Amino acid sequence: MSSGIQDDKALHSETPHSDASLPEASPSNSVYSGIGVFGGSFDPIHVGHLWMAEAALDQLPINHVRWFPAATSPLKPNGPLGDNSQRLQMLRLALAGQSGHEIDTWELDQNRVSYTVDTLEHLHAKHPDSPLFLIIGADSLDSFDRWKSPTKILDLCTLAVIARGGHAPPDYSILNDFASELMIEQCRAAEIKMPQIEVSSSDLRKRIASKRSIRFQTPHPVEVFIRSESLYQQS
């Protein structure tokens, strides 16, 4: 997703709770009906993405994280460097055999610009009784006012913002024009705590282009695939 998931997505709150707190996470996620929504270019997927998704599974009342590889993002109009099939294959290699994680190709199948609000509406229509939690970074929260239909997004989901150690805490004031105080408190309660991770897709692409190692920064099968496809090589 991008303004599609990575640039605009959030959690589904059909009926506001009387209490902003979330149920305590359980070792067995099967008791929950919620869905974690995690979108992005994943160009390429790296250990930071995996750690974020697993932290969401551990800390939120969800039964799985649904990964949405994005088509073209409205906030990243130049598009990804890996094509749809390559990025999808890297996701499949990274998540193979891992419970609690599912890949959804809906955005790729639309063959158009990805908007988070459209993906959330699609997912809500398929799972009307499942609360949706949109997993985003604090940097994506900072641009929330630029997303398409931000108020609608917050009607469909709850934002679950990644709070990384060593970084300033997420600033939820950007939501004031689009949501009630209760809805904002629900987003605060869904905040995902993470240690600081210094890895990014853009840095991996630069390392590959300059023939530097990416070992342990992405799963080994993904690293092998990147080499076999000659992805991200300097042109």
Cα–Cα dist 160/102, whole Å: 18
Q: How do 132-137 and 34-40 pair as beta strands?
A: parallel
Q: Is residue 24 included in any domain, yes or no?
A: no
Encode pLDDT of 161-202 as tens digits: 999 887 889 999 999 999 999 999 999 999 999 998 889 999
Q: Is residue 15 included in any domain, yes or no?
A: no
Q: Is residue 214 included in any domain, yes or no?
A: no
* 192, β-bridge pairs: 162
- Reported as a pLDDT band with limits 50, 70 and 90, residue 9 is very low
Which pLDDT value is given to residue 7? 39
- Structural contact between residues 221 and 96, judged by C-beta atoms closer than 8 angstroms: yes
What are the tokens at 119? Answer: 């993906």
Better-predicted residue by pLDDT, 136 or 17: 136
Cα–Cα dist 12/132, whole Å: 4
Q: Is residue 152 included in any domain, yes or no?
A: yes
Encode pLDDT of 98-146 as tens digits: 999 999 999 999 988 889 999 999 999 999 999 999 999 999 999 999 9
Q: Is residue 211 included in any domain, yes or no?
A: no
What CATH number did the domain enclosing 100 receive? 3.40.50.620
Number of domains in the chain: 1
Domain encompassing residue 187 = 29-199
- Reported as a pLDDT band with limits 50, 70 and 90, residue 75 is low
Q: Is residue 191 included in any domain, yes or no?
A: yes
Cα–Cα dist 85/77, whole Å: 19
Q: Is residue 210 included in any domain, yes or no?
A: no
Distance between first and last Cα of the chain: 27
Query: Nearest-CA neighbor of 60 among 159, 183, 174, 154?
Result: 159
Other CB atoms within a 10 A radius of the CB of residue 190 amount to 28
Better-predicted residue by pLDDT, 24 or 39: 39
Q: Is residue 208 included in any domain, yes or no?
A: no
